[in-house]
Amino acid sequence: MDRFDVTRRIAADDALQSIPGAGGRHFNEVFQHGTLSVEIYAPVDRDPQKPHTRDEAYIVISGTGIFVSDRGRQAFVPGDFLFAPAGVEHRFEDFSKDFATWVIFSGPEGGERTGR
């Protein structure tokens, strides 16, 4: 996060240049403030993520695919907003090679508990 930690504007192209990161990770935290954490995520071939301990939102930067969650399978395109409450299994499937998304974690461990 070091090169992004004081900025209030992060271009998607700049954030994408930070991945793959250490150990070949296909995500990188690019901003943090209080309970807000923003990452860039661009998985390759498959999405290996597990449920998270905090509420998580995505804003799709590029690519298309299917978002799978407790609400079923939903197609996505650039600009779409997707949400996964804390603890809910979710993943991206059948995504295009250019798929990239902002990942926004917020709130306390365990999630907000309202609006589920």
Q: pLDDT tens-digit profile of 52-98?
A: 999 999 999 999 999 999 999 999 999 999 999 999 999 999 999 99
Residue 84 lies in a domain: yes
Residues 95, 65 contacting (CB under 8 angstroms): yes
| 115 inside domain | no
Total structural domains within the chain: 1
Q: Which domain holds residue 82?
A: 12-106
- Percent of the chain topping pLDDT 70: 91
On whether residue 17 sits in a domain, the answer given is yes
> In this structure, what CATH number is given to the domain that contains residue 23?
2.60.120.10
CA–CA dist 101, 116 (Å, integer): 22
pLDDT in the model for residue 1:
47
